Amino acid sequence: MSMAVHVHSTSLEIAEPLPPDVPVGADITVKVRVSCTSGCNLRNVPLKVVAPDGAAIASRFTIDDTDDCGRVQMKAPPRAGDHTWTLVLPAQESNDSDLVHHECVAPISFRTKPVDSSLAVWDIPSSVVTGGPLQIKVGAKSAADCTLAGKGIEICGEDGTVVARSVLGDTPFPGTSALYWAAVDLVAPPNERIFSLSARFEAGELDLDHNSSVTRFGLVVVRPPEHMVTVRVVEQGTGAPITDVQIRLGAYRAETDQNGQAQINSAKGTFELNIWKVGYDAPPGTVGVDADILVRVDAVVVPEDDTDAGWT
Residue 139 within a domain: yes
Is residue 235 included in any domain, yes or no?
yes
Q: Identify whether residues 67 and 33 lie together within a single domain.
A: yes
In a domain, 1, yes or no: no
Query: Residue 204 falls within a domain, yes or no?
Result: yes
100 and 50 housed in the same domain: yes
Residues 89 and 103: their CA atoms lie apart, in Å, by 6
Amino acid occupying residue 298: D
CA distances from residue 37 to 40, 59, 72, 121, 258 in whole angstroms, order as listed: 8, 26, 22, 62, 87
Q: Which amino acid does the sequence have at 171?
A: T
Long-range contacts formed by 290-295: CB under 8 A, 24+ apart: 290/227, 291/227, 292/227, 292/228, 292/229, 292/230, 293/227, 293/229, 293/230, 294/230, 294/232, 295/229, 295/230, 295/231, 295/232
First to last CA, the chain: 92
The CATH number covering residue 217 comes to: 2.60.40.150
311 inside domain: no
Give how far the C-alpha of residue 284 lies from the chain's centroid of Cα atoms, to the nearest Å.
Answer: 38
Digitized pLDDT (tens) for each residue of the chain, 312 residues in all: 455 667 778 888 888 888 889 999 999 988 888 878 777 776 667 788 898 888 888 777 776 655 667 888 889 999 999 999 998 888 877 665 677 778 888 999 999 999 999 999 999 998 899 999 999 999 999 999 999 999 999 999 999 999 999 999 999 999 998 999 999 999 999 999 999 999 999 888 899 999 999 999 999 999 999 999 999 999 999 999 999 999 999 889 999 999 999 999 999 999 999 999 999 999 999 999 999 999 999 999 997 665 454 554
Domain end (from 222, 257, 291): 222
Q: How far is CA 120 from CA 128, 145, 199, in A?
A: 20, 15, 8
33 lies in some domain = yes
Amino acid letter for position 150: G
Single pTM value for the model: 0.74
- Which of 113, 128, 144 is the last residue before a domain boundary? 113
Nearest to 106 by CA among 55, 35, 39: 35
User: Does residue 97 sit in the same domain as residue 195?
Assistant: no
Residue 277: which domain range?
227-306
Residues 29 and 92 in one domain: yes
CATH number, domain with residue 30:
2.60.40.10
Answer yes or no: is 10 within a domain: yes
Last residue of a domain, one of 222, 243, 266: 222
Domain count, the chain: 3
109 and 13, same structural domain? yes
